[in-house]
Chains A and B, each alone.
Chain A
C-alpha cells in the first residue's frame, strides 16, 4: 500500500551560461521539456536561469542543457543545519518530558514497595488503589511509551520485528499481568499475586532517557559535517550592470563576476580575472601556508582571502563547488561499512525474532521447571529477556565509529572514500612512496654550476637555458627558471632535437650544442676529463648532473635536484614507528634515488622504474605477502594507486575528484599519510571495541536475564536493572565512538 501523503511538486532552478540571444531561450526550454518527468520548464533570459517543475534528477536536466550546447548548474541554497538541529532539539526535549512523566509515576511506586508502604491487594481499598495505579501506568504507557507500541504494531504488520517490539512486549506483558492480578486475583495463585506497574513505568522512563542521551551524543558524531557546512559563506558581492551588490550565495550564477575584499571568504569556485592576493586554504586542505593567487589562477569557495582585493569569475556553483563535493564525499563515506561490520549487520537482521524465540523458551522453561510462585518467576524472567536485549548497540557499533572517524579525517584534509579503505588501511604492512612530488617537492631547482676552464657560471647557464627553452622536460623548466631569475639573456636555438633517455641537441649561435647525461657525452665521444671530477659527488647528494658540450668540447656541468620536502623525514619516521616497511619508487637513477632514500630514511628503493611499471612493482610486493599502501599523485600514478590495497593521492589541493584513490590527501605533506593510517587504525580499533562490547553485552545479558544463573546462585535479574542496562548500552557505544573526536595529528607533536 502506498501511503497518501501530501508531497509538493519539486522545483529545480538552474543557472545557465552560453546564452547569447533570446533565441537560445526556446532551445533550452525545449531541451528541458523533452526530459522525461519534466512537467514545466521556463527560462529567464535576463537572469540566465531556468525553473523546472517535475520529478527528475537535476543531473539529467544539466546533461540536457549541455547536450543542447549550453552550460548549466543547479542553483541551490546553502545547506542549513539549523532546521535539522531545531527538529533534533524538539525531539530531545520530548524524550526528556516522557522520561520525567514516566519517572514521576514509577519512582514512588518503586521506592515505597520495599518499605511495605503500599496497600495490600486483597483488601477492597487496596484493589481500588491498585486499579488507580494501573490506570496511571496505562497513561504512562500511552503517553511516554506510545511510540514503542505503535512501532511494534506497525512492525508486526510489516513482518519486521524491531526494538519497539521488544520494549512493547516486555512492558505490555508486565502491565497486563499486573492488571489481571488486580482485577481478577482469583485466577492467579496467591503467591504469584504481585503487580509490576512500577517496572513497566520505570523501564519506559529509562529507555526514553537512554534515547535522549544517545541523541545528545549522536549530535557530536556529525560535528565534522557541520563544521564543513559552516565554512560556506552566506552571501557574495557580485557585479551586475556595473554595480556591486550583496546577494545570497544561492543566487550566484555561472560566469558572474564577484569581488572579494581582504579578510572575506571566497563564496564559490572560479578564476581570478583582476587583482592578486594570498589565500588561506587551510580550512579545506589542512595546508597551513597561504597560497599566492594571481590573474588566471583558480580560487576555491569557502577559503579565506588574506591580503589583496580581487575580482573572479564564478565557474562552479551549488553542488559543483569543491566544498560541496567534499561534503558529499564525506557523507557518502560515512554511510559505508567495512567488512568488519557485516557480521553485526547479519546478526542485527535476525536479532529481534531470535530474542522473541528465546523469550518464549525462557517462559516455557520457568513455567515447567521454575519454583513457586512459578507465574511470577516466569513473567519476570521473560520480561527481563525482552527488555535487556539491545539490537541498537549491535547495529550502531560500526556505523557510528565510521562516522566520527571519517569526519575527523576530513578535518585534517584527508578524504577517505569508504569504510573498506579505512579497514584496509588499518592492516597495511608496507607503504610505497612515489619519489617525485611525494617525498620531494616535485619542483626541481638548479643546485650547482660547474664550468669547464674558459667558461663561467652565467655563460654556462645562459647556453643551457637557451637550448632547454624548447624542451618540455621538468628539469628544463628548472634551468630556464634559474636563468630568468638571474636575468640572463637567452639566445634562440635551432635544429632542436630531443634524444630520448639521453638529452637534447641543438644549434645555438651557429654552434653545435649537446646537453644531457653521461651517456649522451659518451655517445658523441665528448672528453669529460677536463671537467672537475664532481659528478659522483653530486649524484651522491641526490643532485642529477647534466653535461654541456659545445662544438664537441665539454663546457661544464649543471646539477639539478628536486629538494626533499622539509617534513618528509619526520613523517617517514612516523610511518616506521607504526610498524610499516617504507619503500620508495622512482624513475630516477639508483645513485640519485639512494641519496634521497638515505636522506629521508626509507627501507627499500625501487629505482629506474618506468612510469608504466609502477603498478607491476606494487603487485610484486603484494605477492611477497605485503599489504601495500601506495602514495602518489592521483593522475600519473593512477594504475599503481589502483593496484595497491589502499591508494593515497597526495597533494591534490581542493581537486577532490581523484577516482583512482581510496584516500585523497589534500595537503602535500607525507604527515597526511601517517595521519590517515593513524586515524584508520584508531577507527577500526574503536569499531572492534564497540562490536566486542555489544556482542558481550547481549551474549551474557540475555542468558543472565533468562535466569541461567538462578539454579547456581539464586540470582534473577530485576527487569528494572535490565531496562537501565539496555538504555545505557547504546549510549556507551556512541560515547565510545565520540572518543575518536579527540584524535590528534602526530605531525604537531
Chain B
C-alpha cells in the first residue's frame, strides 16, 4: 500500500485537530441584557458554550443540568470566585459580574465541561 496518502492525511488530521480544538474560536452567542441566559448542561458540553455579555454588569446564567453524572455537578467561575452546585433537571440561576472586558471561563470541576463569558 502506498504510504504517502496515509501519511499526508495523518499530518493534515493533526493540523485539523490543532486548528479545530485550539485555534478556532466559535462566535459567542449574544444574549439580550435583561433576560437570564439559559445554559444546558448535557453530553459533556455547555450549550451555548461561549456567551457574549456586557462587562461590568451583573449577568444571570440559568443552568439546566440534564447530565446526572457527578462530572456535571459544579459550575465554577474560577476567575470570578463563584461556584454553584447544579441540581439535576431543575434550573439554577447563577449571577456573576465580569468586571472588565475579557474572557471568563466557566468549567466543571474536572474542566471537561468548558464555557466562556466573553465580556465586551
Using a CB–CB cutoff of 8 Å, the interface residues on chain A facing chain B are 1-3, 5, 7-8, 10, 36-37, 55, 57, 83-84, 87-88, 90-91, 147, 150-164, 211, 214-215, 218, 331-332, 335-337, 345, 348-350, 352-353, 356-357, 360-361, 363-364, 367-368, 391-392, 394-396, 399-400
Contact = CB atoms under 8 A, between A and B. Distances in A.
B68 A2 contact: no
B10 A3 contact: no
Given A1-B29, A158-B49, A353-B17, A331 B34 contact: no
A215 B70 contact: yes
Contact of B112 (A7, A83, A88, A392): A392
Given A158-B47, A158-B49, A353-B17, 14 more contacts: A2-B37, A3-B48, A5-B38, A5-B40, A5-B64, A84-B87, A91-B68, A147-B43, A158-B26, A159-B26, A162-B44, A162-B45, A162-B113, A361-B10
Query: Which one of B26, B42, B44 has the greatest number of beta carbons of chain A within 10 Å?
Result: B44
A55 B69 contact: no
Contact of B20 (A87, A159, A345): A159
A158 B17 contact: no
A345 B111 contact: yes
Contacts of A37: 34
Given A7-B62, A364-B7, A150 B43 contact: yes
Contacts, number: 149
Interface in B26-71: 26, 29, 31, 34-38, 40, 42-49, 58, 60, 62, 64, 68-71
Contact of B70 (A3, A57, A214, A349): A214
Interface in B54-113: 58, 60, 62, 64, 68-71, 74, 76, 78, 81, 83, 85, 87-89, 91, 93, 95, 109-113
B111 A348 contact: yes
B102 to A, nearest CB: 17
Contact of A335 (B6, B36, B58, B83): B83
A738 B47 CA distance: 33
B17 A332 contact: no
Interface residues of B, number: 56
A55 B49 CA distance: 21
Nearest to A37: B34
Contacts of A5: 38, 40, 64, 91
22 contacts: A1-B47, A2-B37, A7-B91, A55-B35, A87-B68, A91-B69, A150-B43, A158-B47, A159-B26, A160-B114, A162-B44, A162-B113, A331-B83, A331-B85, A332-B83, A336-B81, A345-B111, A360-B10, A364-B10, A364-B11, A392-B71, A395-B110
Contact of A160 (B29, B38, B44, B109): B44
Contacts of B26: 158-159
Contacts of B48: 1-3
B87 A392 contact: no
A90 B112 contact: no
A155 B114 CA distance: 10
**Dominant SS among interface residues on chain A:** helix
Nearest to B87: A84
B68 A335 contact: no
B44 to A, nearest CB: 4
Nearest to B25: A159
A162 B112 contact: yes
Given A215-B70, A391-B112, A392-B110, A368 B29 contact: no
A7 B13 contact: no
Given A3-B38, A151-B44, A158-B45, A367 B3 contact: yes
Nearest to A94: B68
A10 B46 CA distance: 22
Contact of A353 (B21, B37, B62, B64): B21
Closest 4 A/B residue pairs (Cβ): A395-B110, A335-B83, A151-B44, A91-B68
A337 B17 contact: no
A550 to B, nearest CB: 61
A395 B91 contact: no
A187 to B, nearest CB: 10
A368 B9 CA distance: 13
Contact of B6 (A218, A336, A364): A364
Query: Which one of B11, B21, B26, B47 has the greatest number of beta carbons of chain A within 10 Å?
Result: B21
B21 to A, nearest CB: 4
A392 B110 CA distance: 6
B110 A10 contact: no
Contact of B14 (A150, A350, A360, A394): A360
A147 B67 CA distance: 10
Contact of B17 (A3, A90, A360, A392): A360
B89 A87 contact: yes
Query: Which one of B37, B45, B85, B112 has the greatest number of beta carbons of chain A within 10 Å?
Result: B112
B59 to A, nearest CB: 11
Given A5-B38, A150-B43, A160-B49, A360 B64 contact: no
Given A151-B43, A158-B45, A55 B68 contact: no
